[in-house]
Amino acid sequence: MTNTQNPDPDIFYSLDANNVMVAVGLGWDEFATANGAPQLRSSSLIGKPVLNYFSDAATRRLYARLFDRARTSGNKISFDYRCDSPTLRRFMRLTIKPVKEVVTVRCETLRKETRQASHFEWAGHQRAARSGAQGNQMVLPVCSLCSKVQVISGDWHEIESAVKHMSLDMDPRVPLLAPSLCPDCENVAH
């Protein structure tokens, strides 16, 4: 089911020259609370490096390059990405814009689609992914920007396609998703 309305507020935040969060927009706390992440309310984030909140090194490097490119070029950078939950696909647009000494980042929800819960769990961090693999639990990379999953063959598929491709709905083990970047999204910063 597709929801073409945009009930989510746009999310804004501003970063200083060291990528430390110096301000957030009014929609930030509402979005954090609505998505079950009250620990990410603005009072916990202001004064801290935003890159600390990206779960994997590849995504941290990508965003650091994007923030630096916006500052250096003086130009706005904008691209579409996905920010999914287990039962919801969120199609979003990220815009990074240099404004005087800060960089402002705007996350805009373009549309949402509901879906059946996926047959995956998120690896909280690399240590959890390694322990899952040792415990006979499959660990699959998921792209932090487009939400595609890398299947055993090395190809990247939408989550629902990956489930079918690997017959994961028949496997009693629930795979862990470990954040990564697919080759297409790796090129966003180049």
Could you give the domains of the chain?
2-115 (3.30.450.20), 121-184 (no CATH)
Under the banding of pLDDT at 50, 70 and 90, the label for residue 88 is confident
- Unique residue bearing structure tokens 């960089």: 103
What is the pLDDT, as a whole number, of residue 8?
A: 57
Under the banding of pLDDT at 50, 70 and 90, the label for residue 131 is very low
pTM over 0.85: no
Quick check: 94 pLDDT over 60?
Answer: yes
What is the pLDDT, as a whole number, of residue 172?
A: 60
The pair of structure tokens assigned to 103 is: 């960089």
Q: What are phi and psi of 25, to 5 degrees?
A: -80, 170
% of the chain at pLDDT higher than 70: 79
The SS3 assignment for 61 reads helix
Quick check: 5 pLDDT over 60?
Answer: no
What is the pLDDT, as a whole number, of residue 18?
A: 96
What is the pLDDT, as a whole number, of residue 37?
A: 82
- Report, as an integer, the average pLDDT of 49-72: 91
Higher pLDDT, 29 or 131: 29
| Nearest partner of 53 among 187, 185, 142, 179, judged by Cα | 179
Q: Strands of 139-143's sheet, edge to edge?
A: 121-122, 176-180, 139-143, 149-150, 156-157
What is the pLDDT, as a whole number, of residue 161?
A: 79
| Residue 185 CA to its chain's centroid (Å) | 12
What is the pLDDT, as a whole number, of residue 17?
A: 95
- Report, as an integer, the average pLDDT of 124-128: 44
